[in-house]
Chains A and B, each alone.
Chain A
């Protein structure tokens, strides 16, 4: 029966009569419980039932405890795993740094050995910036204040020719790489002594031998060195390696693509040739 308080008077009277009846029963229950302990056996039975229920759900409780322990240990394991992974990442980064440092040291050592050929005609330069353009391939290098580096000087690495100094300002210079669109180098095929001119393609580390007739003996993996023509730089500096020779696409000349041997990167160190160095800078027998 709804307990609506604002219903008709009859309903309200009916509600209060019912309330009175129930309240009287409740009072009787209280009386019997307190005075005669009528419900004590019943309550004991309920207590016994509660014990039985507790006993029956104990395995479930144990299972729940085990499960929560399993979950917490899993969470702990995951946390530890994450910590170990972080430590592993850090050590890997450190290892890479060490490897990079070792490589740089080896390069510097090779450069030092190279410089021993002519301590007065060579000066160390360090890259401080490089281009990100596909067509303009250049490096901005820094050198010792007062070093006699002039525009036109060639820059070499332990692998071979890097480029040419275009301009100098205080202790910094602007080097155009051999792969620049506007760069060209007089080269010679080491195997056959055939001479030609290599032009930069603008692509990363890529050059092209132009105006080479189809009948010329030139093959993939042939090494090109500087020919020394013009007298501005010495003979025998490795320039690149032939990557492909295409004789079909053109009628008169072969299309020969060359990959530069030097691989200039930021923070690398190179040598600028500022004076006479002789033609025995590089040991060319290893390319033959």
Chain B
């Protein structure tokens, strides 16, 4: 089944981004920060792929990344770069992504987030002496599988009245 560009309200986008930002910055209760999901990455990717006219601008994505970096205490610029690259992927592969099956889309998202995480780890290892964290890559891949759930929740029309 393919997903098409939809017309969505700004409020829905803002609410989803605020929730995603809180989870990405502060993690989930009962989960350590090392295995906490980067939900905002999935939400940005969703709106970049399927948001239609309501897509996020690059400036917004940049600011969101900075906020998450400062609030989560991670390397400043890491989330910014990750989110910018996600938007670039969305622009490049958006059409093909929208027309593909749900399973393929999930596979694509898992591959994308894992590759981006790998790129970031390589980038960081260039500046400081740090070894590759394979466990973190696995965690990122596992959270990438939740794309189907994210897509389902964001796709659903919650409004009771058709405007």
Contacts and interface: CB of A to CB of B under 8 A. Distances in A.
B80 A3 contact: no
Interface residues of B, number: 34
A194 interface: no
Interface string A6-35: 100000100110110011011111111111
30 contacts: A2-B53, A2-B55, A2-B57, A3-B58, A3-B90, A5-B91, A5-B94, A15-B58, A18-B58, A19-B58, A22-B58, A22-B62, A22-B80, A23-B85, A25-B80, A26-B62, A26-B65, A26-B77, A26-B81, A26-B84, A27-B77, A27-B123, A29-B80, A30-B75, A30-B76, A30-B123, A30-B127, A34-B128, A39-B76, A46-B71
Given A2-B53, A3-B55, 4 more contacts: A3-B58, A26-B81, A30-B77, A39-B70
Interface in B60-76: 61-62, 65-66, 69-71, 73, 75-76
A42 interface: yes
Nearest to A34: B127
A216 interface: no
Please provide the 4 A-B residue pairs with the shortest distance between their CB atoms, ordered closest to farther: A29-B77, A30-B77, A26-B81, A34-B127
A62 interface: no
A3 B87 contact: yes
Contacts of B62: 22, 25-26
Interface in B103-117: none
Q: Dominant SS at the B interface?
A: helix
Nearest to B77: A29
Interface of B: 48, 53, 55-59, 61-62, 65-66, 69-71, 73, 75-78, 80-81, 84-85, 87-88, 90-92, 94-95, 123-124, 127-128
A31 to B, nearest CB: 7
B76 A3 contact: no
Contacts of B53: 2, 4
B95 A5 contact: yes
Contacts of B58: 1, 3, 15, 18-19, 22
Grouping DSSP codes into helix (H, G, I), strand (E, B) and loop, the A interface class, with mixed when no group exceeds half, is: helix
Residue picked from B65, B77, B84, most chain A C-beta under 10 Å: B77
Interface of A: 1-6, 12, 15-16, 18-19, 22-23, 25-35, 39, 42-43, 46-47
A23 B91 contact: no
Contacts of B73: 43, 47
A3 B57 contact: yes
Contacts of A33: 75-77
A283 B61 CA distance: 105
Given A2-B53, A3-B56, A5-B95, A23 B76 contact: no
A23 B95 contact: no
A277 B87 CA distance: 111
